[in-house]
Amino acid sequence: MTTATKETTQSTITTSVKEKIEKVDRRDAKLALAHIYVAFIALFLGGIAGLLQVLVRSGSFDLPSFINYYQVLTVHGVLLGLVLTTFFIMGFQAAGVSRSCGTFTDKQRAIGWAGFWVSTVGLVAAAAMILTNEASVLYTFYAPLQAHWIYYLGLALVIVGSWLSSLAQVMRFNQWRKEHKGQTTPLLGFMVVVNNFLWFVATLGVAVEVLVQLIPWSLGLVERVDVLLSRTLFWYFGHALVYFWLLPAYMIWYVVIPKVIGGKIFSDALAKLSFMLFLILSVPVGLHHQFTEPGIDPLWKFIQTILTMFVVVPSLMTAFSLFATFELRGRELGGKGIFGWFKKLPWNDSRFLLPFIAMVAFIPGGATGIVNASYQLNELVHNTIWVTGHFHLTVATGVALTYIGAAFWLIPHLNGRKLTKRANSMANCVGILWAIGMAIMSGAMHVAGLLGAPRRSAYSTYGGSEQATEWISYQVAQAIGGSILFIAILIITALIIYVSFFAPKGEEEFPIGEVAAGSAPTPAILENFKVWGVIMIAVIIFAYTIPIFDIINNSPLGSVGYKLW
Amino acid sequence: MEIHKYEKWWLVFGGGTLLVFLIVLGVSAFHGGTHPNNSKWTINYEKVDEIAPFDNPGVHKVEGKDWDYEVVLVAQAFAYTPMEIEIPVGSKVRFIATTKDVIHGLGIAGTNINLMLEPGYVSEKITTVDEVGEYTIVCNEYCGTGHALMYSTLKVVDPNDNSN
């Protein structure tokens, strides 16, 4: 009798300890969910904007007279490029830190909520300006097109809010480190901190642009703005931005997927090394967006080309680690021969299939990215719709489909529901539709871009030019692909609503992989943020000081603002 | 930290490929002169019409220079001046362009001539037009409502061909 009671108590304790470790605290879950809901509202609305764009460009559809094409394009870029990404990332990372390092303190959680509300207020302010046609300047807001100052302020608040959210996560990680001196840090928590560090340093560029240049200028406090400087500050931020999007997808690939397929993380040290390489190389590469611009020295453009190629290396490492994990697991399950292991992977599991499709898309996406960043090769594709095709493979598939696949298990984990078998099958359909729609749309964009078709342009026959006629057939293909993607977005929205409010109550796992038994311990240097931070700043100072000094020194008369929409 | 043998091979192969690629780009740019637009020529963008060569946009035959023609283009919302450019095939041409207001793009479809035009800066590119045809010049940087209506045409013609 006594023994039996003892055993029960024992098992209760084990369960409760297990729950504590493996389940995100309910209060943290609410914080994460708030972010994720905003992200998916953005996906739905941004998806509608995307559909309108491809339809307009096909030439068979006109927007009602009260909306202009570039307003729709601004909505699409802001909602999907800034809101979906930033909000999903902050939600996922909050959950990830809570899951891997432990629940937030009340103070940390309060900072997280402050971040959420500051970002949300900023988002609403920016949205109001876009909807009233005061800010049809796209999400890159290049001066001297001048939006209403509230638009710039709103976007700045979205970023300031994300700093607060990041701060809460970093504080929780530091607390873990203090409580576990000398131990290897949890991989997911570590990765979150790297991404937040990267985000903070990168957003300083755009913060200076917006706060020092654009807001005073749009308020009329100063008359003129240095256009080239503002663009250079924007792109100092703008390319690191894409790594900020990418790293959470890598977190899911490195940490979650090994557990989903029943395997192990190939190596904790290699994963951390690749993240630290991203940290030091993500920012000093922004000039590769400015190759065809005047006023910047060719030597510095080329130096940043070289740095851009370096940043390919951690992605090569990631590809190796992931496929090694897949192969090891496939062989463990009895896969024979060179490719036999491939068939053994859990293709019916949406938690695997969606990020897998995302990874596959990232291969051609990375390759076309290398083309874009290749100095003089960029002349062939710069500002053509090839570039749009490129980032719909990288961010809109490699990144977004990974996030979407994660949301389907993360939301039920956070609100105590289950991803049912049926919902899982629907999720798999989403993955397949996304792959088909994106292959058509992005493929047509790549080809049309090589033929010279510009990006960010409404439907036009360019005076009946023969070349433009050729582009239009590809624009019809883009509309077909885009429509398939929109159907996928409708299913995603339905599924998100289902797993949020209607799925049966239960427990859905937040899968976190364990490191393979044979892998070597992680050297302490890889976790030393001071060392890597100093290297990061040094490389940035090296890559940007002289170009920015030159730009300021040789700057022509600044520009007054224009509202040409 | 230990790196798996295959991973070493993979990184050496990948890194090596990137290195070769960079060398090709670097040699082609700094030895072959295939730089993208790197002009550092600045201008008062509010007085473009009064400043040479923009006071006289169009195609100009030049003597005693490394190129045969200078094409001077002025961009403004939402048009290029001139609307049409005609150059004999095989000529070496220097394109010179700037903007009178916001940022515009100057992309000549089907070629690698692709310049950002930013207020206060002149953009340049020297190239040889070696294929007969009609090329659409499009504004490829968003500049406002009429952005997609902003174009010009480059005609590369064969002076010995009288079929037209």
Q: How are beta strands B69-76 and B92-99 bridged, if at all?
A: parallel
pTM of the model: 0.94
Check pLDDT > 70 for residue B1: no
Antiparallel, parallel or unpaired: β B114-117 and B84-88: unpaired
CATH of the domain at A480: 1.20.210.10
DSSP, res A35 = H
Question: Domain for residue A125, yes or no?
Answer: yes
Active site residue A392: yes
d(CA A420, CA A431): 17
Is residue A18, in this structure, part of any structural domain at all? no
**pLDDT for residue A418:** 95
Count, in order, helices (H) and strands (E) of chain B.
1, 10
Is A109 catalytic? The answer is no
> Which chain B residues are closer than 8 Å to A312 by Cβ?
14, 18
Q: What mean pLDDT value characterizes chain B? A: 94
Question: What was the ipTM of the complex prediction?
Answer: 0.95
Residue A148's domain spans which residues?
26-515+531-553
Tokens of A305: 């080309």
Has A243 been annotated as catalytic? yes
Is A77 part of a structural domain of the chain? yes
Which residue from A379, A396, A442, A415 is spatially nearest to A508, judged by alpha carbons?
A: A415
Q: Write out chain A's pLDDT in tens, 565 residues.
A: 344 444 444 444 444 444 444 889 999 999 999 999 999 999 999 999 999 999 999 998 999 989 999 999 999 999 999 999 999 999 999 999 999 999 999 999 999 999 999 999 999 999 999 999 999 999 999 999 999 999 999 999 999 999 999 999 999 999 999 999 989 999 999 999 999 999 999 999 999 999 999 999 999 999 999 999 999 999 999 999 999 999 999 999 999 999 999 999 988 999 999 999 999 999 999 999 999 999 999 999 999 999 999 999 999 999 999 999 999 999 999 988 888 999 999 999 999 999 999 999 999 999 999 999 999 999 999 999 999 999 999 999 999 999 999 999 999 999 999 999 999 999 999 999 999 999 999 999 999 999 999 999 999 999 999 999 999 999 999 999 999 999 999 999 999 999 999 999 999 999 999 998 877 889 999 999 999 999 999 999 999 999 999 999 999 999 999 999 9
Residue length of chain A: 565
- Decide if A380 touches B, using CB distance below 8 A: yes
What distance separates the 2 farthest-apart alpha carbons in chain B? 73
Q: Which long-range contacts (CB under 8 A, 24 or more apart) does A25-30 make?
A: A25/A98, A25/A103, A25/A104, A27/A103, A27/A104, A27/A109, A28/A94, A28/A95, A28/A98, A28/A103, A28/A104, A28/A109, A29/A95, A29/A98, A29/A413, A29/A414, A29/A415, A30/A414
A292 within a domain of the structure (yes/no)? yes
State the Cα–Cα distance between residues A498 and A423, nearest whole angstrom.
Answer: 8
The enclosing H or E element of B59 equals strand B58-61
Find which of A226, A273, A292 to mutate to test the B interface (most B CBs within 10 Å of its CB): A292
Q: What interhelical angle do A85-101 and A400-415 show, nearest 10?
A: 50
Q: What is the DSSP letter of A289?
A: G
Per-residue confidence (pLDDT) for residue A109, from 0 to 100: 97
In a domain, A21, yes or no: no
Is A455 an active-site residue? yes
pLDDT for A10: 44
Quick check: B37 and A384 CB within 8 A?
A: no
Q: How confident is the model at residue B164 (pLDDT cuts 50, 70, 90)?
A: low
- Would residue A560 count as lying in a domain? no
Whether A376 sits inside 8 A of B35 (CB atoms) is yes
CB contact, 8 Å: B120 with chain A? yes
Residue A22 confidence (pLDDT): 81
Domain count, chain A: 1
As a whole number of Å, the CA-based R_g of chain B is 20
Chain A CB contacts of B101 under 8 Å are: 144, 562, 564
Residues of B in contact with A302 (CB under 8 A): 25-26, 29-30
CB atoms under 10 Å from CB of A339, counted, come to 10
Q: Classify residue A280: in a domain, yes or no.
A: yes
Inter-chain contact A292–B114, Cβ cutoff 8 Å? yes
Distance, in Å, from the CA atom of B148 to the CA atom of B19, rounded to the nearest integer, reads 39
